[in-house]
A = this chain, B = another copy of it.
């Protein structure tokens, strides 16, 4: 049975504000009806001229899917090892194991070690109808966000990653992804270890400009009690 309302009774704005990136999953499988609900939500997102150029390739537990997950997991391990060093996850505040940086690093360690055990991995792809372009993601990433929000609504979680990119040349023939389709992301899904909750960002008035670049929107105030965070490593280059 495909759900059309959130089983947890979550309000739209509340769901948006409390959908965290989830990288640790319980081994619990995801029932197909829940997958259908999440993918129904994903495919409600807009695409240019409603061309519906998005395709959602699921890796579950058949042998080829497991092989694909192992490939991506290996790539994730290599990429994370490099990123941990280059982005300084062990420096500065990262030396304190309770810091957000250190906790992200610990979650990442667990994530890459257990990638192949993740119940479902979604590979959102974009069937191109024009040459590759930096704005083409407007046809697929809104769907990825819908997928994560719908996961939240049903008690699951996930995260948008690019871990496939290092092994794309091996994944394409394994899964039969044609040249005309761009592999846009790797999104693991499952029941979270830990939980969703308010996401933390920089203060709103640092992200919103009113009428001209850099002009502060004085009315762009966060809701009372909002906790902030700095941008992730490395520091965003300021224009």
Contact = CB atoms under 8 A, between A and B. Distances in A.
Contacts of A65: 211
Contacts of A33: 219
A44 B53 CA distance: 26
14 contacts: A11-B11, A21-B50, A35-B219, A39-B208, A40-B222, A51-B232, A58-B211, A125-B213, A127-B237, A127-B238, A138-B185, A143-B145, A145-B146, A178-B239
Contact of A145 (B48, B54, B55, B141): B141
A100 to B, nearest CB: 9
Interface string A10-43: 1111111101010000000000110111011101
A72 interface: no
| Chain A interface extent, by class | 35 or more
Nearest to A137: B137
A46 B21 contact: yes
Contact of A212 (B46, B64, B142, B222): B64
A70 interface: no
Interface stretch (A90-98, A110-118, A198-206): A198-206
Given A176-B212, A233-B49, A36 B127 contact: no
B219 A32 contact: yes
A74 to B, nearest CB: 19
A182 interface: yes
Nearest to A179: B239
7 A-B pairs with least C-beta separation: A137-B137, A141-B141, A50-B232, A142-B145, A12-B15, A32-B219, A178-B239
Contacts of A184: 135, 138
